Amino acid sequence: MDEIANAVVFFWIPLSMIALGVWISLSSKDNLRTNIGRIIAVLGLIFVCASPWTVPSSPSSSIGHLIGFILGPSILLLIGIYLLVFSGNVPVGKLPTSDRKLGMFCITFSTVWFCLMQWGDLTPIYDGGEVNRFWLIFFPTLVLMICSLSSVLSVSMMVIGEERQRESSIMRLISVISMTLIICGLAIDGKNISSELFSTYFWLSVSDLFGILVGTSLSIFIFGFVIYLYERSIGEPNSVPAPTNDELSQASEKIANNIGGVESE
């Protein structure tokens, strides 16, 4: 097969298998179909991660290479967030309070792992000894999103939430840590990535996220404005005429028959 066919078979089809498997597992209540969906998603993920060996000449294999590198710390980060959230003050699915420490450990270990990938020897190197270009996009975007979301959640918990001071403090701590990582990336050179290169991709990430925020806000505003114009064009509804005496007597009869009743002996 040619390069395009190889990329379709060994990368794009497995990538679509991940989305298909997740959709099947989440949309089905049957255990068999749920397990089949999970198997399909896992097989697709394995083939995507193996794309640097199956289709090394395809530029798309850089994505599979990056996914293979970030899979471990990402899983640890998600597990840590889950343990941290559900071991707190939640109404359903509450975990033991002792799981909070395990969650903090997973998040800390994941953060150190990501830092070693940015500044240490674990940097994703691909395509002739160069840093994976998707990692240069991924890490600044990840840190920026964590900083933004944790800041918003911290303020929201203080304003809207009840008895959420502890969770708000944790969100503030995460925001400060992510901001520290951003400052370090802008000021400190890594073993394989310079601070100038990080700065370039960081500001590109800022512009991307700002564009997404502006676009989302405009779409919500336009949608609400269209609904407002439509509601104004409809006009006031016609008044319903007052009920006649026959209708009132019939309604009274129905009410009396349904709410009166007879006591059982």
**Tens digits of residue pLDDT in 193-213:** 889 999 999 999 999 889 998
3-state DSSP call for residue 94? coil
Q: What percent of the chain has pLDDT over 90?
A: 22
Q: Is the pLDDT confidence value at 20 over 50?
A: yes
- Give the mean pLDDT of 214-236: 88
Reference 189, options 144, 145, 131; nearest CA is: 131
Q: DSSP states of 100-126 as a string?
A: HHHHHHHHHHHHHHHHHHHHSTT--EE
Please write the tens of the pLDDT for every residue from 226-237: 998 888 887 777
Residue 263 has pLDDT above 60, yes or no: no
Determine the average pLDDT of the residues in 115-128. 86
Highest averaged pLDDT of the listed ranges 83-97, 152-166, 199-213, 243-257: 199-213
Mean pLDDT of 64-81: 88
pLDDT reading at 106 higher than 70: yes
pTM to 2 decimal places: 0.74
When pLDDT is cut at 50, 70 and 90, the band that residue 265 belongs to is very low
Per-residue pLDDT, averaged over 169-179, amounts to 86
What integer pLDDT is reported at residue 225 of this predicted model?
92
Q: Are 7 and 62 contacting, i.e. CB atoms less than 8 angstroms apart?
A: no
H helices, E strands: number in the chain: 10, 2
Better-scored residue on pLDDT, 60 or 35:
35
CA 58 to chain centre: 28
